[in-house]
Chain A
């Protein structure tokens, strides 16, 4: 192969790569908002079952602007637990290495909830778009390495709250 053929092949490969990796951003946003709704529902149900009154759980609409998703609104929650308040603030969907981020803030600190691929390592040939994959919520207290855990139950939620609420 001569130099011109190599050059052309390299540029064609790049164009193919871009086309193969192009994302349907509308569907991605739809999936993100739907996953957020599921999170809010899990939080609401868990808190009510744990004894929090519905009036102590407020929905807050946040305006988010992301380059590929344009401007959109996303719902977060503000929850009063005793004398303390915890906020679940959606930050963005397009994050490096993940599908979304929610910051959880309380009087004792802030932790991150990350929407991640439910499968740890995928086959590189798997072309399933991100919005058709299974996602999971991971809690990142960010205090030391390997301290992340799954948020999938009331126990996970309780563990998470310990990092953002002052002890009584």
Chain B
């Protein structure tokens, strides 16, 4: 049995592009009768084109927001997996920055913001790039916790996370990526 791999930000990007194409193909699918969902079929069949344009735009906006939340989840998952790997008692000492990263481990849940802040404290070379990542997660929290509404742009966020990952991997040779 093949174990499922953890989604990383590159897979989040592929999923975003593929499903966006899927949404655009929905109109054709309705016309050709190949849509499986009866509620969507009922909603869209015989819909005037102007109404379809609005519907499509609304769906794309929803898609964008959920895709961004998934992107952040993939990024956070990777950082947390690295953190768990790095603090393992038996072999942790062989990892870079083991003791500096470990110091915040108290056995209870640590927020992603705290993990990133700890990394910034552990390696001065990462302060700018991880400072950027910290800012992104704080803005994500504003969206996810309903502090205030923000718009999103998936590709721009992915690009930033990818640049930060490059810097992080270039600085910490055993960083497990996200």
Inter-subunit contact B156/A116 (CB<8 Å)? yes
Q: A96 near B152 (CB under 8 angstroms)?
A: yes
A40 within 8 A of B: no
Question: How long is the Cα–Cα vector from A112 to B156 in the complex, in angstroms?
Answer: 9
* CA–CA, A112 and B152, complex, Å: 11
**A55 to B134 CA separation, bound complex (whole angstroms):** 47
Known contacts A124-B120, A142-B17, A148-B159; is-contact A94 B128 (Cβ 8 Å): no
Check if B123 is an interface residue, CB within 8 A of chain A. Answer: no
- A71 — which chain B residues lie within 8 A by C-beta? none
Contacts of A112 in B (CB 8 A): 153, 155-156
Set of chain A residues within 8 Å of B13, measured between Cβ atoms: 145
Contact A124 B128 (CB under 8 A): yes
> Could you say which residues of chain A place their CB within 8 Å of the CB of B140?
96
Please count how many residues in chain A sit with their CB below 8 Å of the partner chain's CB atoms.
28
Map CB proximity to A onto B85-118 as digits: 1 under 8 Å, 0 otherwise. Answer: 0000000000000000000000000000000000
B41 CB-CB contact with A under 8 Å:
no
Task: Decide yes or no whether B129 CB sits under 8 A from chain A.
Answer: yes
Chain B residues within 8 Å of A143, by CB: 17
Instruction: Check A114–B148 contact: CB distance below 8 A.
Output: no
Given contacts A91-B151, A94-B151, A145-B158, contact A120 B131 (CB under 8 A): no
Q: Is there a chain A Cβ closer than 8 Å to B160's Cβ?
A: yes
Q: Is the CB of B152 within 8 A of A95?
A: yes
Contact residues in B for A98 (Cβ distance below 8 Å): 153, 156
Q: Are the C-beta atoms of B153 and A121 separated by less than 8 Å?
A: no
Q: How far is the CA of A114 from the CA of B154 in the complex (A)?
A: 11
* Smallest beta-carbon distance B94→chain A, Å: 29
Please give the residue numbers on chain B whose beta carbons come within 8 Å of chain A beta carbons, in ascending order.
Answer: 10, 13, 17, 20, 68, 120, 127-129, 131-132, 134-136, 138-140, 143, 148-160, 162-164, 167
25 A-B pairs within 8 Å (CB atoms) are namely: A21-B138, A67-B148, A67-B149, A95-B151, A96-B68, A96-B139, A96-B140, A96-B150, A97-B153, A97-B156, A97-B157, A97-B160, A112-B153, A121-B128, A121-B132, A121-B164, A122-B131, A123-B127, A124-B127, A140-B153, A142-B155, A145-B10, A145-B158, A145-B162, A148-B156
